Chains A and B, each alone.
Chain A
Amino acid sequence: MLTKRIIPCLDIKDGQTVKGINFVNLRQAGDPVALAARYAHEGADELVFLDITATVEKRKTLAELVRRVAQQINIPFTVGGGIGQVDDVRLLLQSGADKVSINSAAVRRPVLIDELAREFGSQCVVLAADTNLVEGEWFVFTHGGRRATHLKLKDWLREAVDRGAGEILLTSMAHDGTKQGFANALTAEVSEMLPVPLIASGGAGTMAHFGEVFQEGKADAALAASVFHFGEIPIPALKKYLETLEIPVRI
């Protein structure tokens, strides 16, 4: 049986992790390569790197970083942030990334999804969507959640999958950073509606929250950042906990 995936997310700026990291015995706390290796060793099922580097010229730093990470780890990893065209993706894949996640650029130009799926295959196209409730309806937001769009979430996700997205990374902005749990009802609705795997993101604070997003939220994978970075939830302990709930995990 396919296991539920646990995915740590690293925010990267200029080749370093942005948030403070609190791993014991890790000298270069900000070094994404060391962190990636550590997470892989601890049993992370995949990794996501989100590049928040503002300037285009510094993007080359990202490809270099991807190459260094790919040389170190042998679990799948996804790179996102600022990807706008086919050539951006080619460079990242040639550097050793397995998948890319696209967000604002796909909203601006949806045919980007078709282009990427045709060129590299759906399996490496992750459509990331940030969403929030506006007068009772879930809408898509772009630019790190700062910009509202007219797109209704479910319409957009259906379109994205039709265009060739192989996976969805869904972040509920109202839950993100709260540590009060994932948006389980929304996650379940979206997961059951779509034929492709769904990664839930935003709101992880306790091990129970992960159990809930898999059982109630029907998510295929759960992504989190700070609870892993600060050592609040060690991945091995999380997986053991999920196993006691009879949720299939890779141990």
Chain B
Amino acid sequence: MRVAVIKYNAGNIQSLLFTLARIEGLEVLVSDRAEVIQGADKVIFPGVGEASSAMESLRAAQLDRIIRDLRQPFLGICLGMQLMSRKSEENETTCLDIFEGEVKKFEAVSAAEGLALKVPHMGWNKLTNLRGDLFAKVAEGSFAYFVHSYYAALTVDTIATCSHGEAFSAALQKGNYYGVQFHPEKSAETGLQILKNFLAL
């Protein structure tokens, strides 16, 4: 199976590549070339960093249009997922407009609970309200590793939730497009199972 990992100006992907290398039967191609991405069986869209510069980098390579026209299973991770929303509060960035809803910044004080919150939301937190094949064999309440200061609100596309002061989307899906806010490549056995589930779609 050919897996394309989209290369653009958004952070370190070595951990992801090492994790994919542990899964048998994959040919992993890190690329920003349209024909490689379009010709892959699965596409992974990683990302760590800042939204507006990441979107600029995608547009400069015309990857924004290519991504929106893909038909194969597509998985955005962390910032990758956020960029698949309509827009992000992070530097008021217009994003890829695949998922419903917007990306907002965590408030340092929780409106719901009135407690001081640490931002970034960094560490292991529970995945809840799991829906669909991406979470096959993953128990409700399993833990995943998160690092982020912005979050996607709950929408009709939400297929997993998490909470940090308030509930947010831990994962989103629309058609062949999937996104996870956590890092499956850093989430021990749970994360590996989710990656395997994605690759089995």
List the interface of chain A (C-beta within 8 A of B). 1-3, 5, 40, 45, 70-71, 74-76, 93-96, 98, 120-124, 166-167, 192, 195-197, 220-221, 250
Q: A71-B21, A124-B12 are in contact. Are A195 and B108 (CB under 8 A)?
A: yes
Residues in chain A near residue B15, CB distance under 8 A: 70, 74, 96, 98
Interface centre among A70, A123, A166, A167 (most CB of B within 10 A): A123
Whether B118 lies near A93 (C-beta < 8 A) is no
Summarize B's interface: helix, strand, loop or mixed: mixed
- Nearest CB of chain A from residue B10's CB, rounded to whole Å: 9
Q: A2-B123, A123-B48 are in contact. Are A192 and B14 (CB under 8 A)?
A: no
- Nearest CB of chain B from residue A45's CB, rounded to whole Å: 6
- Nearest CB of chain B from residue A49's CB, rounded to whole Å: 15
Alpha-carbon gap, A98 to B192, bound state (A): 17
For chain B, the count of residues having a C-beta within 8 Å of the partner chain is 35
Whether A1 lies near B108 (C-beta < 8 A) is no
Given A2-B164, A3-B124, A74-B186, 8 more A-B residue pairs with CB atoms under 8 Å apart are: A2-B124, A5-B123, A70-B15, A74-B185, A96-B18, A196-B118, A197-B122, A221-B123
- Nearest CB of chain A from residue B139's CB, rounded to whole Å: 12
List the interface of chain B (C-beta within 8 A of A). 11-12, 14-15, 18-19, 21-22, 48-50, 108, 116, 118-126, 143, 145, 147-148, 163-164, 183, 185-188, 191-192
Return the 5 tightest CB-CB contacts between A and B, nearest first.
A250-B124, A250-B143, A93-B12, A96-B14, A123-B147
Residues in chain B near residue A221, CB distance under 8 A: 123
Residues in chain A near residue B186, CB distance under 8 A: 74-76, 98
Whether B14 lies near A94 (C-beta < 8 A) is yes
Q: Which of B22, B121, B191 contacts A2 (CB 8 A)?
A: B121
Whether B120 lies near A166 (C-beta < 8 A) is yes
Whether A123 lies near B143 (C-beta < 8 A) is no
Whether A196 lies near B125 (C-beta < 8 A) is no
Whether B119 lies near A196 (C-beta < 8 A) is yes
- Nearest CB of chain B from residue A128's CB, rounded to whole Å: 16
Alpha-carbon gap, A45 to B183, bound state (A): 13
Task: Pick 7 A–B contacts, CB within 8 A, sort by A.
Answer: A2-B124, A3-B125, A74-B185, A74-B187, A75-B187, A121-B49, A196-B118
Whether A71 lies near B18 (C-beta < 8 A) is yes
Whether B122 lies near A167 (C-beta < 8 A) is yes
Please give me the residue from chain A that is nearest to B14 by CB atom: A96
Alpha-carbon gap, A74 to B194, bound state (A): 13
Whether A1 lies near B163 (C-beta < 8 A) is yes
Residues in chain B near residue A98, CB distance under 8 A: 12, 15, 186
Q: A94-B12, A121-B11 are in contact. Are A75 and B121 (CB under 8 A)?
A: no
Whether A120 lies near B123 (C-beta < 8 A) is no
Q: Which of B124, B148, B183 contacts A5 (CB 8 A)?
A: B124
Residues in chain B near residue A167, CB distance under 8 A: 122
Whether A195 lies near B118 (C-beta < 8 A) is yes
Whether B145 lies near A76 (C-beta < 8 A) is yes
Residues in chain B near residue A121, CB distance under 8 A: 11, 48-50
Whether A220 lies near B12 (C-beta < 8 A) is no
Residues in chain A near residue B143, CB distance under 8 A: 3, 250
Residues in chain B near residue A96, CB distance under 8 A: 14-15, 18
Whether A197 lies near B123 (C-beta < 8 A) is yes
- Nearest CB of chain B from residue A19's CB, rounded to whole Å: 25
Alpha-carbon gap, A220 to B163, bound state (A): 16
Alpha-carbon gap, A98 to B120, bound state (A): 15
Whether B48 lies near A70 (C-beta < 8 A) is no
